[in-house]
Structure 1
Amino acid sequence: MEKNNISYIDLDQAKAFKALETLSPLSLEKLLTTSAIAEKTAASGAGLSYNYAAMPVGEKQLELLEQLTEEMQLIGKFRLLAAGGVMNTGEKRKVLHHLCRSELVGKVLDEKGQDIGAFYREQQRRFSDFAGKVHAGEITGSTGKAFTTVLQIGIGGSDLGPRALYLALEGAVEAKMKGLFISNVDPDDAAAVLSGIDPERTLFILVSKSGTTQETLTNRDLVLSWLESKEIPGLKPGKQMVAVTSATSPLAGSDTLLDSFYIDDFIGGRYSSTSAVGGVILSLAFGPEVFDRLLKGAAETDAIALNAPFRENAPLLDAAIGLYLRNILHYPVTAVLPYSQALSRFPAHLQQLDMESNGKRVNRDGKPLGYSTGPVVFGEPGTNGQHSFYQLLHQGTDIIPLQFVGFKKSQRGEDRNDEAGINSQRKLNANLAAQIIAFAKGKEDVNPNKSFPGGRPSSLLVGDRLSPEVLGALLAHFENKVMFQGFLWNINSFDQEGVQLGKILTKKLLSGETEDQELMAFDTLLR
C-alpha cells in the first residue's frame, strides 16, 4: 500500500482482468445496432463526444472493464497525480501538466512550500503580456521593424504538440503572426524554413527544458549564423530570440536573449503543449485569448476524466476499451484517423504521446512485465488515407483497431455545393460514416479479391467544429487516455529512458571517445 490507500499491482494480477480473459470474443456485426450507436456515447469536454458502438465490447465486457478501473484505482491515481504525488517513479518527480489549465484538487506545493500552480499562471501571464506587446508594436525586431513571423526551434515535445496545435488553429481563428517550426538537426530542415522568412521581422523561440538539447542548440547556432551572414545594419540576432526553458538551465535569464519563459521538471515534453512550450508560440500566432480558449477546453476534459462515472467518462472508457483490444484481443497496432485536414500533424503528436509514454517493458518498480503494453500508433487525415493504407486495414491479414475523429461543420466555412446540392464537408463525413460501417460489417463476394471480412473495430470522436475549445478537449482526451492506460499496465508513463542510449552513443561518436568498432564502421559508411 502507498499513501492515500492507493496500491499498485500488475494488470495480470487483477481479478477483473482474469475474468475478462475468460470471456469469448463477440461478433462486432451483431453488436453494431441502431440503438447501440445512439447509446454508446460519452462526453469528453467542450462538446466533443466519444462513440464506441463499433467496438467489440458488450455489456459483460463493459461491466468487467469498469470493475477493472475500480480495482486498479484509476481515478484515485489520477487524484493523487493531480494533487502532486510522485508519479514519475523513474525520475522521482511530480507530474503536473494538468495544473497549466486548472486546479483539479486544490493547490500543489513544491519542496519549499511554494504554490506550483501559481508559478505556471505567472509564466502564462508573462508570455501573454509579451505577446500583447509584440502585437501592439511595443516590442519590435532589433532594427525597429514589427515582428510578423514567429519561428519555434525545438524537437520532440517542443515541436510535435505545438506544431500540431498551430496547424489545427490556422483555420479556426484569424492569425496575428505566421508560425513556423525547425526541429530536425538535418540542415535541410532549417535551410528550407529560413529561405522563406524576413530576418528583421522574425521572432525566434528557442525551446529546451534542459537548455542542452543537442539538436535544438545546433539549430540555434545555425540560425544565429544565418542571421549574422545577412549583414543587416543594426540586426542583433540574440535580441530577436526568446527562450522557453527551466529556471536552472544554461539558457535561463541570458542577457543575450530578448526574454525567457519558464517550465519545470514536473511537465514532460510530450505533455507540455498547454505550458509555455506551446503557449508562447500559440499566443504570439493567434493571441493569448485563443490560447485561453484552448486551455478551457482541456480543463473541461480533465474535469470529466477525474469525476465522471465510467460510462460517462470518455477518456476512461477509451483507455479501458483500448486495453481490451491490446491485452484480450491482442491487437498490437492502432490507427488514429482524423477526418480534418487541420489535424494533419495530430497523429504525429499522438505517436510521441502514446509510444514514448507507454512503450515500456517493466513496471513502475522496474520489474519485467508478462503482458503487452502500448501499441504502435500511426495515422493520416481522411480521405487521403483511404487512397493510401486503407487497403491493408480492410483486407490485410491483421486487424488494426481504428480511432476516427470527425466534425459536423468545416473549420473555415469555405465550401460549395455541387450540382446535386452536396457540399465537400458532407462528402467528407459521408466517407467517414461509410468507412466505419465498411470496416465493421465488411462484404461477402464470390470473388475473394472483392470480399471484405469485416469485424474491424473502430471508435469515433466527434465534435461540432474544430474550435480552440474543442482542440483543447481533444488534446486532453488523449493525454488522459494515455495516463489511464499507463495506470492499468502499472508502468511509469512519464519518463522516456528509451531515447537516451542513442544520444549517448552519438555524443561518444562525435567526441571521438568510442572504441566500438561496429559503431565506427557504420559511421564510416555515412561520411
Structure 2
Amino acid sequence: MDLFKDFGKMKAVQKLEQLAQTPYSLTDPTSLPPERIASYRTSACGFDFLYSTQRVDKKVMQTLQELADEACLVEQFKAMKSGAIMNKIIGHESEDRPALHTACRDIFTQTPCASQATAEAKTQLARLQKFLTDLDKGIITNHQGQSFTTMVQVGIGGSDLGPRALYQALKPYCQHGRQACFIANVDPDDAADVLSGIDLSRTLVNVVSKSGTTLETLTNEQLVRSALTAAGLNPARHMIAVTGQGSPMDDPDQYLAAFHMYDYIGGRYSATSMVGGVTLAFALGYENFLELLRGGNAADLAGEQEDITQNLPLLMALLGIWNRNFLGYNTLAILPYSQALLRFPAHLQQCDMESNGKQVSRSGKPVSWKTGPIVWGEPGTNGQHAFYQLLHQGTEIVPAEFIGFRSSQYQQDIVVNNSTSQQKLLANMLAQSLALAAGRPAANPNKSFSGNRPNSLLIADQLTPYSMGALLALYEHKITMQGFCWNINSFDQEGVQLGKMLANRILSELAEKKENTQLPADAPELALLKAANLKNR
C-alpha cells in the first residue's frame, strides 16, 4: 500500500473544498443546542475533547473521516510506531531513519511495537533507576559527602523546551529537597542568572546533546565548567551527559554518568526519552516519571483507532486541517487555563512549526497546499487582558485550543463572591469558548462581536504526571498525523541549517584567532557587522 499520497490529489480534499464554501455557522441562535454540545465530544486517556464550537457539521465530519481513510493516517501512524522509515525524502538525501519516540513509552507490554528500540529504552531506564538509587542511598555524593539537591539541564531546542515545560507543569510533584533548573540560551546572562541562584557544591549539571557538538550547548557547558572550577569543585564529579552513543560527550573521564539517546528519536519528540527523563526523574522521582510514560503510552494507543470520533489525536489533527486548508486560517493559539502549563505552548511551538513548517513533499516536490500553521499561546486568564481583544474582534481569525483541569494541583483555594478561584478560572475558559464561537451582534459596531471563531476545549480532572504525559503525546500525534496527511516529513529540520552556517561565517570574523579564510570585503556579513557597530575593518 502506498502511504505517501499527495494531499491535493485526494478525492476527499475536493469534497471538503466544496463544503468549505458554506461552513457551519456558530452564530445562529440555534447553532449550539444541548444535543450538539453533548454529541460533539470524545474522550481518551483521561481527557474530554469538546468541539461543538468548531465550524463542522455531520457532513464535514463524514468527509474528514474519508480524508483520514484515503490518506491512510492510522496506517501511517502504526507504521511509524513499528519502526518504518518515516524520516525521509524520496529520491533525495535525507536522514532516512525511523521516528520511534513512542518506543520510549511502549514499555508496559510484553509485545512492544518496535522491540529493539523499546529494549534500548528499558536499558536506559534501568541505568537511570540505579543512578537515582545510588543518589538516594548516598553512594553518589559531592566531595563533602552531601547529597545533590539541584540538577541543571544544559541543552537547547528539543533538549530544553519539552523537559522544561514538563518540569514546570509538574513542580508540585517534586521530591522534597530536589529542584531542576535549565540553561539554554547562549546569551551568557541566562547561565549567569541560573548559576547565581544555586549552591554549586550540591548541583549536578546534565549536559544534553545528541551529537555532542551543538555549539550553544558546548559553550554553556564550558561556562558551567568554569564556574565549578572557580568554586573549587571537580567538574567530573558534578556533570553528567545525555548524548548519542560514541559521541564526544560519551566520555566517563569527563562525566559522572552518561545516558544515551538515539537517532530514531527527534529532539522535539524526545522529552519522554533520557533527554527529559534524567532531569525529570531526579526532580520528580522515578515513579512519577513512569506515570508520565504511562500517560504518554495511553495516548499512543488512542492514536490507533480507525474512527476519527474515537481517535482523539487524529480528530484534533483533522479539525486543524479543516481550519488551515479549507477555512484558510493561518495561525493557532494554544490557551492553557493552568499557570503550570506556562511553557507548554512554547514547546508546542517548536514541535509543530519545526515539524510541519515544510514546503517540500516526501516525494521531493514543492507542495501546492498550505502546511503547518503559526503556533503561539499563553496561559489564561492573563491572555484575556492582553491579546484576546484581537481574538474576538481582530481582522485575523485565530482558531484556539483551550486546555483546562477541573481541579487545581496544590488544592489551595478560597471562596470569594460564592465561587473558588478554580471555578472562576474554568468559567472564564468556557465563556471565552462560547464568546468566540457565537459572538454577539450590537447596534454599536465597536461593541459587536462577529463570532464564528472556531475553537475547542481539552479538559481533564487534574494536571498530574499521567495526564501531562497524555497531553504531551496527544499533541505529538496530532502534529505527526497532520504531517502524514500533508505528505511532508515531520521529522527533519533542514530549515535551521542556513542560519547556523551564516552565524559561523560571522563568528569567523569576530573570533580572536582567525581559523578560517576571511570573508570578501564586499560580503554582506561584513557590512552588517559594521552597520551594527560590532566590528571595524
- Which category of TM-score, normalised to the shorter sequence, fits these structures? over 0.9
Contact 1:183–1:189 (8 Å) recurs in 2: yes
Structure 2 equivalent of residue 217 of structure 1: 218
- Read off the aligned partner of 2:101 and give its amino acid letter: H
Aligned counterparts of 1:42 and 1:203: Cα–Cα separation in 2: 43
- Read off the aligned partner of 2:141 and give its amino acid letter: T
Contact 1:185–1:216 (8 Å) recurs in 2: yes
1:34 to partner: Cα distance: 1.4
Cα 1:107–1:390 change in 2 (3 A) is closer
- Read off the aligned partner of 2:260 and give its amino acid letter: Y
Structure 2 equivalent of residue 192 of structure 1: 193
1:171 to partner: Cα distance: 2.3
Structure 2 equivalent of residue 55 of structure 1: 54
1:521 to partner: Cα distance: 1.9
Aligned counterparts of 2:352 and 2:74: Cα–Cα separation in 1: 19
Contact 1:171–1:342 (8 Å) recurs in 2: no
Cα 1:347–1:244 change in 2 (3 A) is same
Cα 1:444–1:29 change in 2 (3 A) is closer
Q: 1:8 aligns with which of 4, 9, 14?
A: 4
Q: Please list, as runs of the form range in 1=range in 2, the aligned pairs for 1:291-306 lying within 5 A after superposition.
A: 291-306=289-304
Residues 264-300 of structure 1: CA deviation (Å, up to 9, x unaligned): 1000000000000000000000100000000001100
Residues 374-425 of structure 1: CA deviation (Å, up to 9, x unaligned): 000000000010011001111100110000001111111010112x331100
Structure 2 equivalent of residue 130 of structure 1: 131
Contact 2:162–2:276 (8 Å) recurs in 1: yes
- Read off the aligned partner of 2:73 and give its amino acid letter: L
1:119 to partner: Cα distance: 0.9
Residues 304-349 of structure 1: CA deviation (Å, up to 9, x unaligned): 1113521111100000010000000010001000000000000000
1:7 to partner: Cα distance: 2.9
Structure 2 equivalent of residue 166 of structure 1: 167
1:526 to partner: Cα distance: 5.1
Aligned counterparts of 1:248 and 1:53: Cα–Cα separation in 2: 51
Contact 2:413–2:421 (8 Å) recurs in 1: yes
Residues 413-463 of structure 1: CA deviation (Å, up to 9, x unaligned): 010112x33110011011111101111111122221111111111001100
1:107 to partner: Cα distance: 4.9
Aligned counterparts of 1:108 and 1:473: Cα–Cα separation in 2: 20
Structure 2 equivalent of residue 112 of structure 1: none
Cα 1:79–1:242 change in 2 (3 A) is same
Aligned counterparts of 1:106 and 1:290: Cα–Cα separation in 2: 22
3-state SS, counterpart of residue 29 of structure 1? coil
Contact 1:357–1:493 (8 Å) recurs in 2: yes
Aligned counterparts of 1:460 and 1:424: Cα–Cα separation in 2: 19
Q: 1:444 aligns with which of 441, 449, 457?
A: 441
1:82 to partner: Cα distance: 1.0
Aligned counterparts of 1:88 and 1:142: Cα–Cα separation in 2: 45
Aligned counterparts of 1:75 and 1:392: Cα–Cα separation in 2: 36
2:41 maps to 1:41: yes
Aligned counterparts of 2:176 and 2:315: Cα–Cα separation in 1: 35
Contact 2:242–2:260 (8 Å) recurs in 1: yes
Structure 2 equivalent of residue 102 of structure 1: 106
Aligned counterparts of 1:74 and 1:153: Cα–Cα separation in 2: 36
1:145 to partner: Cα distance: 2.0
Aligned length: 513
- Read off the aligned partner of 2:40 and give its amino acid letter: K
Structure 2 equivalent of residue 348 of structure 1: 346
2:524 maps to 1:518: yes
Q: What are the ranges of 5 or more consecutive residues in structure 2 without an aligned counterpart?
A: 89-93, 510-516
Structure 2 equivalent of residue 87 of structure 1: 86
- Read off the aligned partner of 1:33 and give its amino acid letter: P
TM-score by length of 2: 0.93
Aligned counterparts of 2:136 and 2:37: Cα–Cα separation in 1: 47
Aligned counterparts of 1:431 and 1:526: Cα–Cα separation in 2: 49
After alignment, is 34-43 or 201-210 more displaced?
Answer: 34-43
Aligned counterparts of 1:443 and 1:275: Cα–Cα separation in 2: 47
Q: Please list, as runs of the form range in 1=range in 2, the aligned pairs for 1:51-450 lying within 5 A after superposition.
A: 51-89=50-88, 90-102=94-106, 106-108=112-114, 115-172=116-173, 174-230=175-231, 232=232, 235-307=233-305, 309-418=307-416, 420-450=417-447
RMSD: 1.4
3-state SS, counterpart of residue 310 of structure 1? coil
1:365 to partner: Cα distance: 1.8
Aligned counterparts of 1:65 and 1:314: Cα–Cα separation in 2: 14
After alignment, is 438-447 or 293-302 more displaced?
Answer: 438-447
Q: Runs in 1 of length 4+ with deviation above 6 angstroms?
A: none
Residues 39-83 of structure 1: CA deviation (Å, up to 9, x unaligned): 1111231x1121111000100000000000000000111111111
Aligned counterparts of 2:330 and 2:460: Cα–Cα separation in 1: 28
Residues 148-201 of structure 1: CA deviation (Å, up to 9, x unaligned): 111100000000000000000012454551110000000000000000111100
Q: 1:476 aligns with which of 467, 473, 489?
A: 473
Aligned counterparts of 1:364 and 1:520: Cα–Cα separation in 2: 37
3-state SS, counterpart of residue 309 of structure 2? helix
Residues 77-127 of structure 1: CA deviation (Å, up to 9, x unaligned): 111111111000031011100000016874536xxxxx2211111001111
Residues 354-389 of structure 1: CA deviation (Å, up to 9, x unaligned): 000000001012200111100000000000100110
After alignment, is 29-38 or 347-356 more displaced?
Answer: 29-38
Aligned counterparts of 1:288 and 1:339: Cα–Cα separation in 2: 28
> How much identity, in percent, do the aligned residues show?
49
1:132 to partner: Cα distance: 2.4
Contact 1:6–1:77 (8 Å) recurs in 2: no
After alignment, is 242-251 or 142-151 more displaced?
Answer: 142-151
Aligned counterparts of 1:174 and 1:42: Cα–Cα separation in 2: 35
Q: What are the ranges of 5 or more consecutive residues in structure 1 without an aligned counterpart?
A: 110-114
- Read off the aligned partner of 1:171 and give its amino acid letter: P
